[in-house]
Structure 1
């Protein structure tokens, strides 16, 4: 974290402190610490910050509250950005460094060969049909590394770190991009993989885990949570683009567990 960022978070900048309340600074300082928080956690944190500093916090003004913070972060090329979990459709808020649009933002935490393997993992996920990659395929990709090759144990440890740091998700040895990674890396992914990456027909953000229209002339992709919401209550689901019958099982709308971070 730079001294300028610390100044914003701690109130050491006189100009910032006149324009931002202590409740805003407490919220920002927490976001700098945790990086990403789900919608329930953001609302709880917003309420906590306002109550701690005896400031009113209208429940429907969270986005306005964050916009005030973002207006002060703009000169620092940072932003608290909103995105959706591909897993359950829940909104998340992540603190994003907009000055760095690729994996160099991770260089202070990871060595060069670790960053190279993360890039390879990203490429494998983007190029897959279902937005996942197995641990075996990741381990095999170390053979083509140009930097110092990672041992198997080092690769496994790195993958655990990437999951812990919320860059990847893992389920039964299958890895997907985390919500944090998608929010932060979307500009980079769109630029680097523009011929491979697709966008959801409903929410228009990049999509990896999804359902696909089986009409070969159409082939639109829709996030699983977007599928659940779009087709809810429809007797005969049809593709929103070509109107062909939608043959996939419609998932239920999941209700994420409420989480509170303070």
Structure 2
């Protein structure tokens, strides 16, 4: 049975509502801060129980704090998600119809790619096939910046990927809309976009780069965990989360 919701839970929720998403280290620091601020019991290993208490109160409002992994660095994140509307329409209060159409087209490009990325050039070119009012180049660039700032997309060197927040919140929509294209990571079983793929045509499993790093660490001869073929890709280093100073 979940504990009673108190001021420490409410402060935690308010911060999640303001930020939308925080990494696990930040969530643990916030949990401790909320407990100490309101003189409630703090147990370092009870963060998920603490969040479960909040989620039990959010359930009637079809909201939930959900945990997911970053494809970029393998770190765990907590995101406040809307369970009632898991598709792109939930963004309609912040974006115009033609902006949402371009976001869908960007998702199409990312999901349909082999590396989970879409170039700014391809996104700009996709405006030619829009059914709603076509966006100008400057408007498209401004929209992409907004989507990055609002944590729906990530951008690096002119290439866009789905953010951790987007994958966590839109997962049901992504699985339903792209069921023939989406594959899951063989190791963590989460949706896989940025990943390595087994080159055996009879296998073709996907593994997130951070999962590759952890799975093959210390193995003298990396072999596919599904078909046992030699794994020809470069094995990345296991990335450690950066420590943060207490405020």
Bucket of the pairwise TM-score, normalised by the shorter protein: over 0.9
Between the two structures, name the one with larger relative contact order (CA 8 Å, sep ≥ 6): 1
* 1:176 aligned residue (161, 183, 208): 161
Aligned to 1:151: 136
Aligned to 1:10: none
- Once the two structures are TM-superposed, the CA of residue 256 in structure 1 deviates from its matched residue by 2.6
Counterparts of 1:41 and 1:105, CA distance in 2: 26
Aligned to 2:149: 164
Counterparts of 1:65 and 1:147, CA distance in 2: 44
Contiguous gaps of at least 5 residues in structure 1: 1-17
For 1:41-120, what aligned pairs fall within 5 Å after superposition? Answer: 41-120=26-105
* 1:130 aligned residue (115, 121, 132): 115
Counterparts of 2:135 and 2:29, CA distance in 1: 41
**What is the TM-score when the length of structure 2 is the normalising length?**
0.97
- Once the two structures are TM-superposed, the CA of residue 19 in structure 1 deviates from its matched residue by 3.3
List per-residue Cα deviations over 1:45-78 (Å, max 9, x = no partner): 1011111101121111000100111111111111
| Structure 1 residue ranges (4+ consecutive) displaced by more than 6 angstroms after TM superposition | none
How many pairs are equivalent?
Answer: 245
Counterparts of 2:113 and 2:218, CA distance in 1: 31
Matched position secondary structure for 1:183: helix
List per-residue Cα deviations over 1:174-216 (Å, max 9, x = no partner): 0000000000011000000000011000000100000011111
Counterparts of 2:51 and 2:93, CA distance in 1: 26
Aligned to 1:191: 176
* 2:186 aligned residue (201, 222, 230): 201
List per-residue Cα deviations over 1:123-164 (Å, max 9, x = no partner): 100000100000000000011111111110000000000000
**What is the TM-score when the length of structure 1 is the normalising length?**
0.91
Distance 1:261 1:25, change over 3 A: farther
Aligned to 1:9: none
